[in-house]
Structure 1
Amino acid sequence: MDQVNVRWYVEDVAAHSSPIVIAGLPGVGHVGKLVVDHLVHVLSAVKVAEITSTLFPPQMYLSEDAVLRMPRNEVFFAPGSENSPAVLLLAGDCQSTTPEGHYILGNAYIRIFELLGVKRIYTLGGYGVGRMVETPRILAALSSSSLKEEVLFAGAVLNKDEPVGGIIGAAGLLITLGRLVGMEGIALLGETSGYLVDPVSSTAVLDVLEKLTGIKADRTELAELASQMMTEVSAIASTMQKNNADDLRYIG
């Protein structure tokens, strides 16, 4: 097995091409992954390519029949409609386990994007702030300052001091590598606690993404997940308050 293996699932690449790709791989709060997995489902996307790699964790996944499979990332094509453009989607199980692997895989993704006619990359992720956030800000990072106005108009925030320490992993790397071959790029990072899978932050990221791309996607399932999470968080908070009150009564 090679370091990076690409298996194509379509014969006519041109018929499954788009100038826009949206990448959301596992990361902080699974913010980006939730959005892209949701778009793959609601936009009836078809699988274009599959990437397997020895740079992924040695963690095998089980099917419903308990059959093991390799970890994989996948490229999907979502056909356009009257109200929504055609887009490519990069989704999957994992990122690299090593710094060098991030660069090797990143370059492999960029080569795939070139073959599929990509001109602009959107990467989605989470920005862990260590606390619960009811109304997440969406931080943006750009391949060029020329994109600043449209990103601000879409509701994202630009701050050179956030995320602290920059962006680690595919969300930042794909934007930078894409710029080297002439692709524009915008990274969108939703504020999240970093402790939980966060569909609330994912929904906020999707709001900004839709304004930037013109995508129109049913968000019923994502909204239900967000509502469920808020209910669970409220229950946890109530339990903690009760426990604190009980502790104070005991001490007093």
Structure 2
Amino acid sequence: MHNIDVDFFEKSSSSCDILIEGLPGVGQVGKLVAEHMIKELNAEKIAEVHSIFFPPQVLMDEEGVARLPKNEIYRYEGENISIMFLVGDFQSSSPEGHYLLADTYLDLAQKAGVKRVYTLGGYGVGHLVDNIRVLAAVSDGKLKDEVEAAGAVFTTGEPGGGIIGASGLLLGMGVKKGFEGICLMGETSGYLVDPISANQVLSVLSKLTGVSVDATKLKERADEMENFVERVKESEKANSEEELNYIG
């Protein structure tokens, strides 16, 4: 096995206009968005990526059959736009791997003729959020007006630690390869899988790409999460009142 192996299922040279990355991350926000779009658009899987930079483990299916971790490349051909999707099991388990994998993904996008890269993720704030913002970062300041018009915001000092992993590197490294890059990050507590934040990111992304998908299933998951969050808040409030009564 090589450091990184890319296995294509077809020898098609079909081009793509944009790349949408939704690998696992904080709140699984980007992963939820990209996988929802893939399913709703009935995108076709065209390649798998295996690497020694993924965690040293195998994953088990419902039948107990083991397989190596993999990331996947999908392609959607629409009337006015074609999309390459990057999703999968893991990001790199090492700093070196992050750079090498990002370089591989960008090479694949470049060969497909991609001009713009969208990276999706969650912005962990460490607490429950009522009014979720979608924060943005771009590879070129000329993209800011377009992104703000779609509903995302730019804030000074957020995220404070920069953008870690594929979502950041695809933007930074993509500049040298001539890509436009936009990162969309939905606010999330970071403690739970967050379809509420994912729904907000999907809304902004749809406006930017002009690609609308049925968000019903994602909204249903978001509603379930909102109900769960409300129960957690009520439980915390009840526990707090009990503690106050005990102290008094």
Shift of 1:189: 0.6
Q: Which moved more, 1:55-64 or 1:194-203?
A: 55-64
**Match of 1:30?**
28
2:12 matched to 1:12? Answer: yes
**Partner of 2:86: helix, strand, or coil?**
strand
Displacement of 1:59: 2.6
**Alignment match of 2:198 (pick from 198, 202, 211):** 202
RMSD (CA atoms): 1.1
Cα offset for 1:85? 2.7
The residue aligned with 2:154 is 158
Please say if residues 38 and 85 of structure 2, whose CA atoms lie closer than 8 Å, have aligned partners that are also in contact.
yes
Q: Work out the percentage of aligned pairs sharing the same amino acid.
A: 49
Q: Is the 8 A contact 2:17 2:81 kept in 1?
A: no
What does residue 44 of structure 1 align with? 42
| 2:126–2:189 CA contact under 8 A, matched in 1 | yes
- Shift in Å at residue 132 of structure 1? 0.8
User: 1:192 and 2:188 equivalent?
Assistant: yes
What are the Cα deviations for residues 218-252 of structure 1, in whole angstroms up to 9, with x where unaligned?
A: 11110011000010111111111112222222222
What TM-score do you get using the length of structure 2 for normalisation?
Answer: 0.97
Matching of residue 138 in structure 1 with residue 134 in structure 2: yes
Residue of structure 1 equivalent to 2:2: 2
SS at structure 2 position matched to 1:179? helix
1:78, CA displacement in angstroms? Answer: 1.4
Quote how far apart the aligned CAs of 1:131 are. 1.1
Q: Aligned to 1:13, what secondary structure does the other structure show?
A: coil
1:65 paired with 2:68, answer no
How far off its partner does 1:19 sit?
1.2
Question: In the aligned structure 1, how far is the partner of 2:42 from the partner of 2:196?
Answer: 23
Partner of 1:114: 110
1:157 Cα offset (Å) = 0.8
Deviation at 1:37, TM superposition (A): 0.8
Deviations 1:194-234, CA, capped at 9 Å, x for gaps: 11111111011011101100011011110011000010111
Look up the SS of the partner of 2:20 in the other structure.
strand
Offset, 1:134: 2.0
Aligned to 2:144: 148
Of 96, 101, 119, the match for 1:100? 96
Measured in 2, the distance between the counterparts of 1:139 and 1:246 equals: 38
User: Does structure 1 retain, via aligned residues, the 8 Å contact 2:206–2:212?
Assistant: yes
| TM norm structure 1 | 0.95
Q: Deviations over 1:90-149 (max 9, x none)?
A: 000110011111001010111111121111000000111111112211111111111111
- Distance of 2:135 and 2:229 partners within structure 1: 23
Residue matched to 1:226: 222
For structure 2, list consecutive stretches of 5 or more residues without a partner in the other structure: none
**How many residue pairs end up in the alignment?**
248
